[in-house]
Amino acid sequence: MKKRLVFFAFFLGISPLLFGQNYPMLKSTIVDLNGNTKEGYVEYQDWLISPEHIYYGESIDGQKKSGNVGEINSFDITAEGLHRKFIALRNIYISYIGANDDLNSVVASTTYEFGHEFETEHINMFAEVVFESEGLQLIQLIDKYEKSRLFLSVDGVINELKSYRYMTYSDVAASSKYEVRNTEYKKTLEKVLGADFFSQKTQLDYAVRPIAALLRKYSKEKGQAINEDLHKAKLKFSGLFGVGLGRLSFEEQNLEFGDKSYTDRALLASASVGARLNIPGDFYNKSIDFYLSFQPQIERLSYRLQYNQYFGGNSLVKPKFVFGFENNLKLYGGLGVSWKRQLALEAFYMPKAGYDIFQKVSLFQTNLVYTIGNNN
């Protein structure tokens, strides 16, 4: 068991060195500080955190340059089924609650005003335009904690739509806690859109989809042209088919000789079918699988729910880490390698495949999995 854990940790550690990162160059229109437009290509990294700089060039295979918000006003990314637009946010101050941005941090205080502590950061980053109409832009920044922060641009003037919450004490001695919510974003939207169209008392979640839907409705009522070309990657589903070979290890206590035990092993073949949910962002390098597996030798049908984390950006060959559980919460973890996320070889270890007072059963399984459908 310890040897397997050491191997898994070693494999994950050297994966970036073995497989590296491979990012495609996609068509782009780049606008500089003077408003000049230039056609070219941008290295598309499908950013999990909003970038401070980008790499771009005049051709796919040409020399790359690095550009930041001090040189570029905006750029877009265009590919099949994809059109994303990014603009520069300059000299923006954003705040976090607590040193670790713990939105539910508990700070001992007897008063509301001193029930929280802010950490302020000055940023210069590119953020994505997720909705755009005449004079209006909804902008999404993904901060260093991979949390979404929204900004509203009105005729080029950008303000953050602020929302945060925290726990505080109404009575320190009695440890009486309550949650404080700041929904300042609703006040901003009411001011911009008008109280006759939107009231801050209206239920509106702090998320891209509901706020973008509100701005779309407003723009349509005002007769403002809407940019319908913006498209992000979406959730994708694909089918799965796999075959596997597992080694069951039986550790049984010998009742005749007391605490002495012996180990027996058996090989079991299996076949699986399932479905995969491909999660957008970072080139769909996160996915969740559901399998139905059948072991004909023992006529056993089981199910598995598995999380996959791939490494290597947009590389053709990607290592992966898997974690999941089988029937009755039998946990397992393992490693694998895939080709285009289409064909994968994976191995996992389940320390408690079965257990009773006399017998402990573990499973080491190797699977070959083929993905049916588009998952990239």
> What domains, with CATH codes, occur in the chain?
14-221 (no CATH), 236-372 (2.40.160)
Q: What's the CA gap between 376 and 129, in Å, rounded?
A: 23
Q: Are 35 and 22 in contact (CB under 8 A)?
A: no
Per-residue exposure over 69-78, b if at least 16 CB sit within 10 Å of its own CB, e if not: beebbbbbbb
**Based on the number of CB atoms within 10 Å of its own CB, is 254 exposed (0-12), middle (13-18) or buried (19 or more)?**
exposed
Give the torsion sign (CA, 310, 311, 316, 317): negative
pLDDT, tens digit only, all 376 positions of the chain: 455 555 555 555 555 555 556 788 999 999 999 999 999 999 999 898 999 999 999 998 888 999 999 999 999 998 877 899 999 999 888 877 643 334 433 333 333 333 455 677 888 999 999 999 998 999 999 988 888 999 999 998 999 998 877 666 665 555 666 666 778 999 999 999 999 999 988 899 999 999 999 999 999 999 999 999 888 778 889 999 999 999 888 776 555 555 555 566 788 899 999 999 999 888 888 999 999 999 898 888 999 999 999 988 778 888 999 999 998 768 999 999 999 889 999 999 988 766 454 467 788 899 999 998 766 6
Q: Are 123 and 95 in contact (CB under 8 A)?
A: no
Q: What's the CA gap between 74 and 68, in Å, rounded?
A: 10
pTM of this structure: 0.71
Q: What angle do CA 43, 70, 74 make, to 5 degrees?
A: 50
* β 286-295/72-79 pair status: unpaired
